[in-house]
Amino acid sequence: MKWEVDTHCHTIASGHAYSTIAENAEAASKKGVRMIAITDHGPAMGEGGINKYYFWNMRVIPRTINGVYILRGVEANILDTRGTLDLPEEFLQRLDIVLAGLHTGCFPQGLSAEENTQAIIEAIKNPYVDIIVHPGNPEFPINIDRFVEAAHAYNVSIEINNSSFISRQGSEKNCSLIAKKAAELGATVSLGSDAHICFDIANFAKAEKLIEDAKVPQENILNTSAEKVIDFLKLKGKEITL
C-alpha cells in the first residue's frame, strides 16, 4: 500500500527526539511522502523546555519544505478524566491537527478501564481533537467498544501507532482488537510512525500488517492520500488547503 502522509512526527523540541523539522521533511521527501504532521508533545510532558508558545508560533513554519506539506500540530496530553488537554482552546484552534492521548507522568496511573475510557471519550468530544493516539497502550486499559464507538460518532480518527509495538510492550493485542472494531463500524483509522528520529518517518511496517489482518478498508485509512487528510480536517473545521 502507498503511504502519502505521516500524521505523528516529533522533533528535537520534544526533548527525547533527535531530528529537526527540516530533517524530518528531507527524510519524508526521499521516501516519497507528501505530507507530515509536526506533533511535538504538549507542555505537560515537561521535556525540552517546550511551552505553550511553541505551538502559538508554529505559523512561522513554512507550508512546504523539500516539497513536503507540513501540518502544524501537537500531541496533546489528556490530564484527567474530564478530558482536559494541556493546551488551552485559543492555542488549539490555531493548529492544523491535534492529536491527544494518555501519557505516563501526565495522566494518573492505576485508574480503572472505565475511568481511562471516560477520559478519552471526553477528549474525543473536544471539537479541536482530530486523532486519539496509541489507544492500545496496556498501561492505560480501556473499554475498546465504547472508545471506538465514540471516536466513530464524533469523527475522530483512531491511531494505530507503529512505535507502540516496540516501546509499549503488550500493545499488539489491544491494537488488533481496536482495528477490528474500527473495521466493523467503519471508523476512520490513521497510522502514526510516532517518529522520534527522521529515519522512522512513515515507518508503518508493523501497523500496516495489523490493519491488513483486521481487514480495515483502505478508504477508511487516512494516510493513503494527502487529499484525504485535508478533507478529513476540513470536516473537523480546519481551514487548510494543499
pLDDT of residue 155: 98
pLDDT of residue 44: 96
pLDDT classification of 169: cutoffs 50, 70, 90: confident
pLDDT of residue 30: 98
* Cell triple for 110: 492505576
Backbone angles phi, psi at 68, to 5 degrees: -105, 130
Cα dihedral 109/112/118/121 (nearest 10): 70
pLDDT of residue 170: 87
Written as one letter, the residue type at 29 is S
pLDDT of residue 228: 97
What's the average model confidence in pLDDT over 120-126? 98
Facing residues of 98 across strands?
74
pLDDT of residue 6: 98
pLDDT classification of 150: cutoffs 50, 70, 90: very high
What's the chain's average pLDDT? 97
207 SS3 class: helix
Contact 58, 95 (CB under 8 A): yes
What's the average model confidence in pLDDT over 101-118? 97
Tens digit of each residue's pLDDT (9 = 90 or more) over 181-236: 999 999 999 999 999 999 999 999 999 999 999 999 999 999 999 999 999 999 99
49: pLDDT strictly greater than 80: no
Contact 131, 156 (CB under 8 A): yes
Q: Is 110 left (phi over 0), alpha (psi -120 to 50) or beta?
A: left
Q: Where are the domains of the chain?
A: 5-235
pLDDT of residue 116: 98
**CATH fourth-level superfamily of 5-235:** Metal-dependent hydrolases (3.20.20.140)
What's the average model confidence in pLDDT over 49-78? 96
What's the average model confidence in pLDDT over 112-125? 98
60 SS3 class: helix
Contact 173, 151 (CB under 8 A): no
Share of the chain above pLDDT 90, in %: 93
Backbone angles phi, psi at 106, to 5 degrees: -115, -30
Tens digit of each residue's pLDDT (9 = 90 or more) over 10-40: 999 999 999 999 999 999 999 999 999 999 9
Contact 180, 214 (CB under 8 A): yes
CA distance 125 to 122: 5
pLDDT of residue 167: 87
What's the average model confidence in pLDDT over 109-118? 97
pLDDT of residue 148: 98
- The angle at the Cα of 117, spanning 207 to 97, to the nearest 5 degrees, equals 55
Residue 129 DSSP code: -
What's the average model confidence in pLDDT over 83-91? 97
